[in-house]
Amino acid sequence: MRLSIVIPTLNEAVRIERNILRAMALHPIDVIVADGQSTDGTGDLARSSGATVVTSERGRGGQLNAGAEATTGDVLLFLHADCWLEPSAAGQIEAALRDQKVIGGAFRQRIDHDRRVFRWLEWGNATRVRWLRMPYGDQGIFVRRSAFETIGGFAEVRLMEDVLLMRGFRRRGWRIELLPGPIHVDPRRWLKHGVVRQTLRNWLLLAGLKLGISPDRLAKFYSPNSVVPGS
């Protein structure tokens, strides 16, 4: 397996160096930081940490595609800037993809906070993947390059690009796996907005998407500080 890792960023100077080092521990052939024109030096810090940096317009879908274009691996792993995997995750991916019917998947989460409500969130998110085959970006999506290119990559939208990608996989009947991981997730967005409020907002966005409202239009209902890669 030749693994490439793509990390979308926007003003992630506080954590980008640490998380690039964690990504390097998975022994990928390249780590690409897809930066959305950060103003806090994220790009420079990423380069000095050994990552390749590509810059594009802000918007997670477009940034992820720009990052994917710069990779050389045959398996792509997309990690939000506030998420990280332990080194054993690379072996989990390789083992899962030995089954040629599996085109990708994601990981069980460990939200890095001790409150019991986060254990419920972890359980609910894992259940969503098992029953609906719908992992989100903060669960660490990995995919064979061939499948990613066949589907045309991510929709170039401001948010919910992960949902649209998984819908494309489901329409084709492609198989994905939920791996034990865990993927460690920063609880910052739940702590900032409140667990109930953040969860309800996510449900409303999904309902809007089902009703045919475009993701870019739905993004206007998010605060400007929420619609950022890695949030």
Rounded distance between C-alpha atoms, residue 19 and residue 3, angstroms: 16
Phi, psi of 60 (to 5 degrees): -60, -40
pLDDT tens digits, 67-115: 999 999 999 999 999 999 999 999 999 999 999 999 999 999 999 999 9
How much is the pLDDT for 222? 62
How much is the pLDDT for 160? 86
How much is the pLDDT for 158? 80
pLDDT tens digits, 42-71: 999 999 999 999 999 988 999 999 999 999
pLDDT over 50 (residue 230): no
Q: Which CATH architecture has domain 3-219?
A: Alpha-Beta Complex (3.90)
How much is the pLDDT for 221? 67
Arithmetic mean of pLDDT, 186-191? 90
- Domain regions of the chain by residue span: 3-219
pLDDT over 80 (residue 220): no
pLDDT over 90 (residue 199): no
Model-level pTM greater than 0.75? yes
Question: Sign of the C-alpha dihedral, residues 130, 9, 226, 218?
Answer: negative
Rounded distance between C-alpha atoms, residue 19 and residue 199, angstroms: 25
Phi, psi of 43 (to 5 degrees): -60, -45
What's the DSSP call for residue 220? T
